[in-house]
Amino acid sequence: MTSEPAAASLRKPEIVTFGCRLNAYESEAMAHLAAAADAGDVIVVNTCAVTAEAERQARQAIRRLKREHPTARIVVTGCAAQIGPARFAAMPEVAHVIGNAEKMRADTWQALGDPAADRVRVADIMGVREMAPHLLPGFAEHTRVFLEVQQGCDHRCTFCVIPYGRGPSRSAALGTVVEQIGHYVRGGAREVVLTGVDLTSWGSDLPGRPGFASLVRRILAAVPELPRLRLSSLDPAEVDGALLTLFAEEPRLMPHLHLSIQAGDDLTLKRMKRRHTREQVVTVCRQARAARPEIAIGADLIAGFPTEDDAMFARTLALIDDAGLDLVHAFPFSARAGTPAARMPAVDGAVIRARASQLRDVARQAQTRFLARQVGRRALVLVEKSRRHGHAEDFAVVALNQPATPGTIVETLVVGIDGDQLYGSPVAAAAA
């Protein structure tokens, strides 16, 4: 077990983060590691590889940052750097390329001050079998924080390169998780978001193979002073009865479920090598609402997967209504080199863009209906550092018509909709 570090007084480096909540957590860890190592004038770009566009944006940011900070050393890490280190090493703006395993080790950051240090430090991620334990002394956003409890993925969806950037599935020990959450709460956190690459696979590599629901239950029991626990993206194939029971019984488990669905057509799902069917998604959503009627359900959906015809796309589009999805992230398909999907018959680019636009339109309509249902109700809003915004229990963003103290949970009367968020009037502070 790693001992809890003292708060670092050294200046943290600038970190530019792309991609998922897991990257956000790891960026905070790297900030502490680099500051403790006194790494000097460095800017860290933590990349994402989920789409070609994400990698393009990272390369664009690297060039911009070097123009704006010509004396800084640019350190590139993250999934895109892990999968294609040579592409970033070839950029004249880049001083160091660091792999996903190496970025979480103190000795990596200590070595940056050595002129003889390797410019590229990227090992074979598939050989990593343990998670690096990190007890962070703090978090940039103290009211709502992320915690990595699982890393890597053992599945091989045909469109996805992330397993090659993250390695095999591995879990944080339950005791480490509980200790870190307790540390966060003592530091002022009021909501903890559990994150991972394949979150519901937590425990599959631990003695006794405990299920993910057992981790959630243990956290809530062991840290009773934690007001809110939230889950990030889940595989619908692994949302089981034990987890649904927790949603029904535990008010501190936030009524918000985000599912990695990707498509609403069974043949597309099969070609994606997903482990669920369309009907299973509809059933999980129905069961979740039966367990917790106020639950908000979000999802990721892809438009234009190879071989997708109009009828297949129509079934994905209809899933938003059939499953009652509230908050949908819609993506155009992006072929990633080396994946099976990249070798499948492609949909025309113009068709992909049109379908993605249509999917986003239907998603916006669903979100508007979701927000409209909140008007006139009272929501418990966790006030964030802006003092005028926060998240309700169901993850809706609420703008407050008067400032409130960050970290308080404020009972708020929702009076209207402003774009993609609600606005309301605080009634009372529900919790300090």
Write the pLDDT tens digit of every residue in 246-276: 999 999 999 999 999 999 999 999 999 999 9
Rg (CA), the chain: 22
Question: Where is pLDDT greater, at 53 or 354?
Answer: 354
Tokens 């680019």 sit at which residue? 349
Question: Where is pLDDT greater, at 13 or 220?
Answer: 220
Residue 181 CA to residue 183 CA, distance in Å, equals 5
Shortest CA distance to 366 belongs to which of 279, 299, 271?
A: 299
Confidence of residue 131 (pLDDT cuts 50, 70, 90): low
CATH code, 144-372? 3.80.30.20
User: How far is residue 431 from each of residues 121, 229, 231, 411, measured CA to CA in Å?
Assistant: 46, 15, 21, 9
Residue 7 CA to residue 413 CA, distance in Å, equals 38
Confidence of residue 429 (pLDDT cuts 50, 70, 90): low
Confidence of residue 430 (pLDDT cuts 50, 70, 90): low
Predicted confidence at residue 139, as pLDDT, reads 56
Whether the Cβ atoms of residue 194 and residue 226 lie closer than 8 Å to each other:
no
Task: Give the list of residues 6+ apart from residue 72 with CB closer than 8 angstroms, or none.
Answer: 14, 41, 42, 43, 65, 66
Q: Which class is 378-431 in CATH? A: mainly beta
Domain 14-123 has CATH 3.40.50.12160: yes
Average pLDDT rounded to a whole number, residues 109-133: 76
Q: What whole-number percentage of the chain has pLDDT above 70?
A: 93
Domain regions of the chain by residue span: 14-123, 144-372, 378-431
Q: Looking at 18-27, 215-224, 248-257, 404-413, which range is the least confident one?
A: 18-27
Which string of b and e fits 14-52 if b means at least 16 CB within 10 Å? Answer: ebbbbbbbbbbbbbbbbbbbbbbbebeebbbbbbbbbbe
Mean pLDDT of the chain: 89
Say yes or no to pLDDT of 18 above 80: yes
Predicted confidence at residue 114, as pLDDT, reads 72
Strands 389-391, 378-383: pairing kind: antiparallel
Whether the Cβ atoms of residue 28 and residue 56 lie closer than 8 Å to each other:
no
Say yes or no to pLDDT of 6 above 60: no
Say yes or no to pLDDT of 14 above 80: yes
Whether the Cβ atoms of residue 55 and residue 80 lie closer than 8 Å to each other:
yes
Average pLDDT rounded to a whole number, residues 282-311: 97
Predicted confidence at residue 300, as pLDDT, reads 96
pTM of the model: 0.85
Residue 19 CA to residue 329 CA, distance in Å, equals 13
Predicted confidence at residue 141, as pLDDT, reads 55
Predicted confidence at residue 7, as pLDDT, reads 40
Say yes or no to pLDDT of 4 above 60: no
Shortest CA distance to 46 belongs to which of 61, 64, 32, 33?
A: 61
Whether the Cβ atoms of residue 300 and residue 292 lie closer than 8 Å to each other:
no
Predicted confidence at residue 358, as pLDDT, reads 98
Predicted confidence at residue 135, as pLDDT, reads 53
Predicted confidence at residue 102, as pLDDT, reads 86
Predicted confidence at residue 432, as pLDDT, reads 45
Say yes or no to pLDDT of 39 above 80: no
Shortest CA distance to 98 belongs to which of 62, 60, 169, 45?
A: 45
